[in-house]
Amino acid sequence: MLNNIAFKDYKKSGDIHGTVLYPAVMIAPVQKNILNELILENDILSVFDPFHGSGTALYEAMEISPNIHLVGCDINPLANLITKVKLQGVKANVYKDIEKLKSYLADPKYIYPFSFPNMDKWLRKDVFESLKVIRSAIMHIKDDQNRLFFWYMLCDIIRKHSNTRSSTYKLHIKDTDAISRIENKVAENFIAAIEKNADKFMHSSNNFILYKCDVLKKMKTFDNKNFDVSITSPPYGENATTVPYGQFSMLALYTIPQNDLELEGWELENYSIIDSNSMGGINSEENINEYEKSLIKPYLDRISVSKHRKVIRFFSDYFQFLEELCRVTDKYIVLTLGNRTVDRVQINLTDITKTFLERRNFCNVKQAQRDIPIKRTPKVTSVVHQKPVSSMNSEYIIIHKRNF
Ligand SMILES: C[S@@+](CC[C@H](N)C(=O)[O-])C[C@H]1O[C@@H](n2cnc3c(N)ncnc32)[C@H](O)[C@@H]1O
């Protein structure tokens, strides 16, 4: 099942996963190969993705076995929206709703006002005005499934027309010239995108649950051995200095009306709060036991003391997650992992995870390494002691099976 995982010629643009941008997504055909074998050979009835992101694994599981029970969790409301739309699809009347949108845009009746913090910084005035019209048009669509699909498709349009650079997932302002060169094609790009992609959303599952919350808390509420397979790609470090999923999502989250998002109430307080509350974020505790400490000590010994706290904070959450994952998984754990670098020291998250899982009676049955061909996180990310530091450029897939 991990014999050929390169998929060098795979292009997301050909399938549903290419219809929206989300950071650090898994490669769909790789997940599909793994799930195919596990589901078809092992009497698998449920699949859990604790950090579902854009829903790659859950969607692929649905494609293999439409009635399988799917459970996912993510702290980011944009990930929740994206995955919900992939799993619930659109209604057959979506094309009528597209026509309604078009006639509304040709002759807008009422434009709902909206604003958000610092919007002048991130959206040029005319772009904001165009978005306001489209937003109002979408708000007039009555069908919930179709309306959420339209929000989903609007996300990339917002980002592409915003004043942030496309070279990074962080919000990083373009220079003035580049901002003035942005072509305002908000309406035409949006209509083209929904017309081109609506037919990719015709499959749906009626057996899924998505939780929009902190998975560390949510997992405590699940029974032992609740899921046959757990499959995920966890964050590989705290969001702030690895992948800022929250910051990446904020312009879309501020634009989509709150009643169409799954919110706990704190998510829109500021641009960095989702990242702060994510795994290993500044709001996490530093609480690891002696065994866990022994797993990261070889790395800590080589990392400057000023960076210990952030590493310990991340692993405090990560080990808690692995502990719970072993408890709630009945048969297989499949993880796609990256080894990040702190202070030029590469932390081997894959080895650490394998050792932890083996001790908890999940033995490793397969492992594979995959080069990451295209990355928005540059191969060289920062400079420490005047030397460039390379970021991850391989990912590792490990499959563990419960011993008893
Ligand atoms: C590597 S991404 C998952 C990508 C996904 N596999 C895909 O293919 O799109 C990790 C995800 O973990 C989520 N996350 C981080 N901390 C979390 C937490 N404490 N609880 C739930 N989700 C969290 C992030 O929002 C992000 O979507």
Q: What is the best residue among 15, 21, 74, 315 to mutate for testing ligand 1's pocket, by most ligand atoms within 8 Å of CB? A: 74
- pLDDT, tens digit, 9 for 90 and up, residues 228-239: 999 999 999 999
Q: Kindly tell me if the per-residue pLDDT of 382 is higher than 50.
A: no
The minimum-distance atom of ligand 1 relative to the CA of 278 is 16
Half-sphere exposure (Cβ direction) of 142: Cα atoms closer than 13 Å: 2
Q: What is the mean pLDDT of residues 168-172?
A: 95
CA-proximal residue: ligand 1, atom 26 (nearest): 53
Confidence of residue 86 (pLDDT cuts 50, 70, 90): very high
- Whole-angstrom CA distances from 60 to 30, 39, 55, 162 are 10, 11, 8, 31
- The pLDDT, as a whole number, for residue 163 is 98
Distance 372 CA to ligand 1 centre (A): 18
pLDDT averaged over the chain? 93
3-state secondary structure the chain: CCCCCCCCCCCHHHCHHHHCCCCCCCCHHHHHHHHHHHHHHCCCCEEEECCCCCCHHHHHHHHHCCCCEEEEEECCHHHHHHHHHHHHCCCCCHHHHHHHHHHHHHCCCCCCCCCCCCHHHHCCHHHHHHHHHHHHHHHCCCCHHHHHHHHHHHHHHHHHHCCECCCCCCCCECCHHHHHHCCCCHHHHHHHHHHHHHHHHCCCCCCEEEEECCHHHHHHHCCCCCEEEEEECCCCCCHHHCCCHHHHHHHHHHHCCHHHCCCCCCCCCCCCHHHHHCCCCCCCCCCCCHHHHHHHHHHHCCCCHHHHHHHHHHHHHHHHHHHHHHHHEEEEEEEEECCCEECCEECCHHHHHHHHHHHCCEEEEEEEEEECCCCCCCCEEEEECCEEEECCCEEEEEEEEECC
Residue nearest to atom 15 of ligand 1 (CA): 278
| pLDDT tens digit sequence for 269-292 | 999 999 999 999 998 889 999 999
Q: Say what the pLDDT of residue 404 is.
A: 76
Mean pLDDT of 48-60: 98
Pocket of ligand 1 (CB under 6 A): 22, 24-26, 51, 53-54, 56, 73-76, 79, 214-216, 233, 235, 245, 278-279
Share of the chain above pLDDT 70, in %: 93
Average pLDDT over residues 353-363: 98
- Can you give the pLDDT at residue 381? 47
pLDDT tens, position by position, 208-230: 999 999 999 999 999 999 999 99
What is the average per-residue pLDDT within 148-171? 97
pLDDT of residue 379: 45
**77 with 262: CB under 8 angstroms?**
yes
User: Residue 298 is encoded by which pair of tokens?
Assistant: 């070889």
| Residue among 17, 75, 261, 284 whose CB has most ligand 1 atoms within 8 A, to mutate | 75
Atom of ligand 1 nearest to the CA of 73: 21
C-alpha of residue 44 to centroid of ligand 1, in Å: 23
Please report the pLDDT score of residue 373 as a whole number. 61
Q: What is the pLDDT of residue 58?
A: 98
Q: Lowest mean pLDDT: which of 286-290, 328-332, 335-339, 378-382?
A: 378-382
CB 111, CB 136: distance < 8 Å:
yes
Give the pLDDT score at 50.
Answer: 98
pLDDT at 391: 52
Q: Is the pLDDT of residue 110 over 50?
A: yes
The ligand 1 atom nearest the CA atom of 321: 19
Is pLDDT of 44 > 60? yes
Domains of the chain by start residue, with CATH = 12-89+203-238+278-402 (3.40.50.150), 94-201 (no CATH)
Residue 334 confidence (pLDDT) above 80: yes
User: pLDDT at position 392, please?
Assistant: 54
Lowest mean pLDDT among 73-77, 105-109, 242-246, 380-384: 380-384
Q: Is the confidence at residue 178, as pLDDT, over 70?
A: yes
pLDDT digits (tens, 9 = 90+) for 125-142: 999 999 999 999 999 999
